[in-house]
Amino acid sequence: MLSRQFTIQNQYGFHLRPAQVMVEKMTPFEAKVTVKKADGTGADAKSLLGLMSLGLTGGQTVRVEISGRDEERAMAAMEELFKNNFGE
């Protein structure tokens, strides 16, 4: 299992569009991908509704946990998403 912390840098926080981009990027991977808040509340990164239910805001730090056969490729894709602010 791979685990890494990321900080949401988007100006308007983690709203519908970044959540949709994450779901689209993570869905092709076989690995299980979970996004967790500091309080331990988590959601499947392949579930738009789950991600939106976390209520993430700009400046908030999250932990991404990925486990499975293609976990390294999935983590590289996740790192790219955060690096590029989900294309915003």
Q: Give the number of domains in the chain.
A: 1
Q: Give yes or no: 67 in active site.
A: no
Among the listed residues 6, 9, 15, 77, the single catalytic one is: 15
Task: Quick: pLDDT tens for 12-62.
Answer: 888 999 999 999 999 999 999 999 999 999 999 999 999 999 999 989 999
Domain that holds residue 51: 2-87
Q: How far apart are CA 44 and CA 38, in angstroms?
A: 16
User: Is the entire prediction scored with pTM above 0.85?
Assistant: yes
Q: Where residue 69 sits, what CATH number does that domain have?
A: 3.30.1340.10
DSSP one-letter code for 54: T
3-state secondary structure of 43: strand
